[in-house]
Amino acid sequence: MVTHAVEKDNGRRSHRRALTLGLVAVLVLVLAVAGALMPVPYVSLRPGPTMNTIGANPETKKPLIEVEGAQTYPASGHLNFTTVAYTGGPKRPLSLFTALRDWLNDERAVVPQETIFPKNETVEEVEQQNTLQMEDSQQTSVAAALVQTGRKPSTVPAVQSAEKGLPADGVLKPGDEILAVEGTKTDRTTAVTGELKKYKPGQTVELTIRRDGKEQKVSLTTAPAPDDANRAVIGVVLGDRYVFPIDVNISVGDIGGPSAGLMFSLGIYDLLTPGDLTGGKFIAGTGTITVDGKVGAIGGIQQKMIGAKEAGATVFLVPAGNCDEAAAAAPDGLRLVKAETMDGAVKALQNLQSGQGAVPSCSS
């Protein structure tokens, strides 16, 4: 009887032990699942769509770049700008599991959330900035293309914003162009600020502005600057706007950011000049652009190259500042051409087509 009791007690202990281990296993599993689903402050970058700047917008079926007021020439092949898409962000954060999965994916890059969404900025503010950067990039691209064809655009200072509580608030609007200060013509922001330096706080100044294509005059009483009571201000943030001899419309939908500048410029240049810049090849690329044609580095070069290769590109234009990174991660079969300037990119493509002359490479 004693032996039987001991065996019975051991059986109960074994049962409790098994039950305990089972509960622990379930708890570990629950914690593992919860941990995997836990949001992390990272963003996953992946190849985004590419669009042919000398072709049609795939959504609207209309030319991506339309030019009015100048003769244009037919263009063949592709001059695609490239983009980077992302998953994650403050509104839809990545889970730990997704971050780890994408970290193991060669086509993706997992980066800190602040890379795209800086602290103290809302998602809406970031998206608005991206939209403005795209708009500025398009304007600068037109200017750079015109400079490359020998037609330098003029400029006019335009209101970007009016500061609350200062004289321009409620009087001047974003987009207003300031043509003159007290009859003195102003073609740049520096010209406006130079004229305003002649005034003391409390004096009235008359501005000639153009709003929605119509000229009008407005009078403002200057106020003391917040940081210097002796300096007169009207309370506007100005930026130079280009005035083009032709109308160029670029339609890319809701894509934002400045990194398509080089490819926009090349597309516009190709349409405005005789001949074929691509030679029928599928060329893609990236890079910011300045009016004088300098090409700037960008982010997400690896994802952009992958997106270009998947779309069919055989040649990729790389900003000089991204060359080392691009050479280390270039997909097989994609020729990298280094682009330091707009003029250099044009000549490289012409040489690539003719088979003569230098074609700078990121691997050299």
Does residue 281 carry a catalytic annotation?
Answer: no
> HSE of 197 in the Cβ direction (CA atoms, 13 Å)?
6
Q: How many residues does the chain have?
A: 364
Phi/psi of residue 311, each to 5°? -80, -15
CA distances from 345 to 216, 224, 263, 265, 285 (A): 43, 48, 10, 10, 10
Q: CA-based Rg of the chain, rounded to a whole angstrom?
A: 29
Does residue 141 carry a catalytic annotation?
Answer: no
Q: Which of these is catalytic: 281, 294, 304, 338?
A: 304
Give the pLDDT confidence score for residue 15 in this predicted structure: 53
Average pLDDT by stretches of 10, the chain with 364 residues: 50 54 47 52 87 92 93 93 86 80 81 80 78 85 94 90 91 93 93 93 95 93 90 91 91 86 96 92 96 93 95 96 94 95 96 89 77
Cβ(270)–Cβ(143) under 8 Å? no
Please give the helix or strand (H or E) that residue 309 lies within, else none. Answer: helix 301-311
Is pTM beyond 0.75? Reply is yes
Cβ(315)–Cβ(335) under 8 Å? yes
| Spatial separation of the C-alpha atoms in residues 244 and 208, rounded to whole Å | 20
Cβ(46)–Cβ(87) under 8 Å? yes
| Spatial separation of the C-alpha atoms in residues 128 and 112, rounded to whole Å | 21
Cβ(190)–Cβ(273) under 8 Å? no
| Spatial separation of the C-alpha atoms in residues 268 and 67, rounded to whole Å | 8
Task: Give the residue from 19, 251, 47, 305 showing the smallest Cα distance to 135.
Answer: 251
Task: Give the residue from 364, 361, 327, 320 showing the smallest Cα distance to 342.
Answer: 320
Q: Which of these is catalytic: 259, 265, 294, 338?
A: 259
Torsion of CA 72, 213, 265, 154, to 10 degrees: 100
